[in-house]
Amino acid sequence: MRFEFASASRILFGEKTVHEAPALAARMGRRALVITGGTPLRSKGFIDSLQDAGISVIPFSIAGEPTTDIVLQAAATGRSHACDLVIGIGGGSVIDGGKAIAALLTNPGELFDYLEVIGKAQALPFPPAPYIAIPTSAGTGTEVTRNAVIISREHKVKVSMRSEMMLPKLVVVDPELTYSMPPGVTATTGLDALTQLIEAYVSRKSNPLTDGICREGLVRAARSLKTAFENGNDADARRDMCLASLFSGIALANAGLGAVHGFAAPIGGRFDAPHGLVCARLLPAVMDTNIRALNRKHPGSPALMRYDDIAGILTGDPSASAPAGISWIQRLCRDLRIDTLRTIGISESDIQPLVASARKASSMKGNPIELTEEELEAILRSVMTPAS
């Protein structure tokens, strides 16, 4: 057996750890490009604390998911102000954007030189500018992954910029920063984390280290996601979900994902829908299709036992089998009031282009079995029906 494992250089976890970030940032640079979300005022206190620590701050807001245009604009802003440090404080989109921006600050060429699928996917020749990631949501785990997901409106797809050098120098996960997340965002981001833990656990690239991380993350997500949705000030639930998100990012960075995220990239590029919603609605259909395909083609596959393990963790019943796990996820989606994918406007004419794009996605490489075009089309049709 051979595997590798990589994560951020340093991870700080715990309540009020955000207050430690300015002093640590001052050791990395003196002029920071600070990436925030669509409401920069929420980060004013943090920005003030950076300035108190002697750091010049150049703020830049990313409202919504990062696009190729916004990433280029931010990188140009950073260069024009001679920034030697990048800090992302916000949701997954902010953290993703910050990773790409930090890489572009120090590397030559064009953005498309480094993008997968639609670009040249070239390796970064130089390390990115030091990057500090401070998530304010709990779901993507992108603070500990080696890629940044970026939307190309021109190509109608989400693609990655990827390098082991893009792992942040410092990650600060303070659960208190997630208390203000509204229930809908808590639901969709939490379901993204759950999906990532499941896909990494059954991935063809899983290893003993990621297996343990996935199982622990699943335990925490199963017991706390609904509670965090119902009571955003529940400290134990928020802490659990921050850990589940962090673990999901570590796992996917080292074990890959599967067909859910293979579909999520092209769907996210074509339609305006929360990533977690797309994952949540695809997850039961993908699990069911994978299990049926494995039973038919590889009945002794270890992935089948893993789906049973997942069911046992989610339901709390060690004797549960995979279908019980699928049913548990479907009930959770109803409890969290997750919309169906019909609401985002996918039509029959979109199915073949989405399948063609999904088959090229890097996430598909980790799916426990290669699915046929017909199976992939059936997955999309099943989530378009009123019963999904």
Q: Is the pLDDT of residue 312 over 50?
A: yes
Using CA atoms, how far residue 137 sits from 88, 92, 176, in Å, is 12, 7, 10
CA–CA distance, 193 with 220 (Å, rounded to integer): 11
Q: What angle do CA 18, 19, 22 make, to 5 degrees?
A: 95
Domain range for 295: 183-384
Q: Which residues pair with 159 in a beta bridge?
A: 150
Q: For the chain, what is the mean pLDDT?
A: 95
Same domain, 50 and 29: yes
Place of tokens 């990589």: 6
What is the structure's pLDDT at 386?
Answer: 54
Same domain, 188 and 103: no
Same domain, 169 and 189: no
What DSSP line would sit under 250-288, residue for residue?
A: HHHHHH---HHHHHHHHHHHHS---HHHHHHHHHHHHHH
Bridging pattern class, strands 11-13 and 170-173: parallel
Examine the fold and report which residue of 178, 209, 234 is the final residue of a domain before the chain moves on: 178
**Which two structure tokens, joined as six digits, stand for 62?**
């990313």
What is the structure's pLDDT at 121?
Answer: 94
Same domain, 255 and 155: no
pLDDT tens digits for range 39-77: 888 899 999 999 999 999 999 999 988 999 999 999 999
Same domain, 163 and 229: no
If one counts every other C-beta atom within 10 angstroms of the C-beta of residue 11, the result is 17
What is the structure's pLDDT at 43?
Answer: 92
Structural domains counted in the chain:
2
Same domain, 137 and 85: yes
- Give the helix/strand (H/E) hosting 291: helix 275-297
Question: Could you tell me if residue 75 is inside a domain?
Answer: yes
Question: Could you tell me if residue 2 is inside a domain?
Answer: no
Judged by phi (left if over 0) then psi (alpha if -120 to 50, else beta), residue 186 lies in: alpha
Confidence tier at 169 by pLDDT (50, 70, 90):
very high
Residue of 219, 220, 201 lying closest to 210 (CA atoms)? 201
**Three-class SS of residue 338?**
coil
The length of the chain is 388
Give the percent of the chain with pLDDT over 90: 86
**Three-class SS of residue 201?**
helix
Question: Could you tell me if residue 1 is inside a domain?
Answer: no
CA–CA distance, 276 with 286 (Å, rounded to integer): 15
CATH code (residue 91) = 3.40.50.1970
What is the structure's pLDDT at 136?
Answer: 96
pLDDT tens digits for range 245-287: 999 999 999 999 999 999 998 998 888 888 899 999 999 999 9
Same domain, 159 and 225: no
Same domain, 91 and 212: no
What is the structure's pLDDT at 38?
Answer: 85
Examine the fold and report which residue of 162, 178, 194 is the final residue of a domain before the chain moves on: 178
What is the structure's pLDDT at 343?
Answer: 78
pLDDT tens digits for range 115-146: 998 999 999 999 999 999 999 999 999 999 99
Question: Could you tell me if residue 221 is inside a domain?
Answer: yes
Examine the fold and report which residue of 145, 178, 211 is the final residue of a domain before the chain moves on: 178
Q: Are 2 and 57 contacting, i.e. CB atoms less than 8 angstroms apart? A: no
What is the structure's pLDDT at 388?
Answer: 43
Q: Which of 45-49, 60-64, 195-199, 383-387 has the lowest mean pLDDT?
A: 383-387
Same domain, 221 and 303: yes
